[in-house]
Amino acid sequence: MKMKDSVAIVTGGGNGIGEAVAKYLVKNGAKVAIVDMAQKNIDRVVGEIKAMGGEVIGVQANVTSEADTAKFIKATLDAFGKLNIVVACAGIIRDGTMLTIDKETGKVTRKMGLDKWQPVIDINLTGTFLTLRDGAEAMVNGGWEGILVPISSVNKVGQIGQLNYSSTKVADALMPKIIVGEFQMRGIHNIRCVGVAPGYTATPMLTGMNQDALKALLHEVQIGRLVEPEEVAALIGHCVENGAIDATTIEITGGLCYEHGIAK
Amino acid sequence: MSKFTYNDAEYIVEPSGYDIRRVMPDGSSSLVAANLYYGLPVQEAEAKAQALVKSIQPVGIKVVGPDITRPNMIGDLKIVGPDISRPNFIYWDKDSTSFPKSS
Q: What ranges do the domains of chain A cover?
A: 7-252
Q: Could you give the ipTM of this predicted complex?
A: 0.82
Is B84 at the interface with chain A, CB within 8 A?
A: yes
CATH number 3.40.50.720 given to A7-252: yes
Output the pLDDT for position B68. 60
B55 and A58: CB-CB below 8 Å?
no
pLDDT in tens, A193-241: 999 999 999 998 788 777 888 888 888 899 999 999 999 999 999 999 9
CA–CA min distance A82, chain B (Å):
14
Distance CA A80, CA A214 (A): 41
User: DSSP E strands: which ranges in chain A?
Assistant: 7-11, 31-36, 56-60, 85-88, 99-101, 108-111, 146-150, 191-198, 248-252
Distance CA B80, CA B63 (A): 15
Is A55 at the interface with chain B, CB within 8 A?
A: yes
User: DSSP E strands: which ranges in B1-103?
Assistant: 2-6, 9-14, 19-23, 29-34, 72-74, 77-79
Is B30 at the interface with chain A, CB within 8 A?
A: yes
Is B17 at the interface with chain A, CB within 8 A?
A: yes
Q: Nearest CA to A148 among A10, A4, A2, A18? A: A10
Question: Nearest residue of B to residue A117 by CA position?
Answer: B84
Q: Model's pTM, two decimal places?
A: 0.86
A50 and B56: CB-CB below 8 Å?
no
pLDDT in tens, B30-79: 999 999 998 888 889 999 999 999 889 887 655 455 566 666 677 777 76
Output the pLDDT for position A210. 79
Over pLDDT 70: what percentage of chain A?
97
A78 and B48: CB-CB below 8 Å?
yes
pLDDT in tens, A73-110: 999 999 999 999 999 999 999 999 999 999 999 999 99
Q: Dihedral sign, CA of A231, A233, A234, A235?
A: positive
Q: What is the DSSP string of A188-210?
A: --SEEEEEEEE-SB-SHHHHTS-
Burial category of A25 from C-beta neighbours within 10 Å (exposed 0-12, middle 13-18, buried 19 and up): buried
Testing the interface with B: which of A5, A50, A116, A118 to mutate, by most B Cβ within 10 A?
A: A50
Output the pLDDT for position B85. 57
Tell me, what amino acid is at B74?
Answer: I
Distance CA A109, CA B4 (A): 58
Distance CA A243, CA A245 (A): 6
